[in-house]
Amino acid sequence: MAKSTLLLSTVTLSFFCVALAFEPSPLQDFCVADASSSARVNGLVCKNSASVQASDFSFSGLHLPGNTKNPLGSSVTPVTVAQVPGLNTLGLSLARIDYAPMGVITPHFHPRASEILTVLEGSLEVGFVGSNPENRLITKTLQKGDVFVFPVGLLHYQRNVGNGYAVSISGLSSQNPGIITATNAVFGSKPDISNDVLAKAFQVDKTIVDQLQAKF
């Protein structure tokens, strides 16, 4: 009985140690980002709490439509720690996305966040792709008021399939979710990925790869 109790206690302690190490509780009320600091940490350095203002925790303009007059027909208005310093260490952010008719947010992923999207206006086709080897596409057409979740690190996209403009709001589980757009990463890396590698990856001629890289 004593050994069983000891084993249970050890397993329980190990579980809580792992959980606390993965996502520690904040050690202060807030940690407003000091963008001027040259210090390098996993996040941004806290500025002196005596200089913190209400403006560090607020953002204005999310009601304004973004400019969708671009080749993709879409616009993203982010509200991350870069716009709201008070988000630092809190693990959440927002984004407003505007879509012209047939506008798209091309396949991309967030390396540090899951995303929950709500349609405010219009109709959106959304989807994400699971990991290898299945690469299963999970997709759905959303209407006003519908919600969809994109798991962290998975390639996903949105497309306006309605007749007019569409708007959505996304919540993300990081103050700095990051974004990696598939086409930009593959064809727009600096320096270029070798066209030999990409030609084999896409099973196309090198000249096609060169043409695509020239666009990015």
Other beta carbons within 10 angstroms of residue 89's beta carbon come to 19
Are 177 and 94 within 8 A, CB to CB? no
Phi-psi region of 183 (alpha: psi -120 to 50; beta: other; left: phi over 0): alpha
Binding site members for Mn(2+) = 108, 110, 115, 156
How far, in Å, CA of 210 to CA of 106, rounded?
21
Q: What are phi and psi of 206, to 5 degrees?
A: -60, -30
Q: List the binding residues.
A: 108, 110, 115, 156
What is the DSSP code string of 41-56?
Answer: BSB-PBPPGGG--GGG
- Output the known binding site for oxalate: 110, 115
Question: The sheet that has 74-79: what strands, in order across it?
Answer: 74-79, 93-99, 166-172, 115-121, 147-150
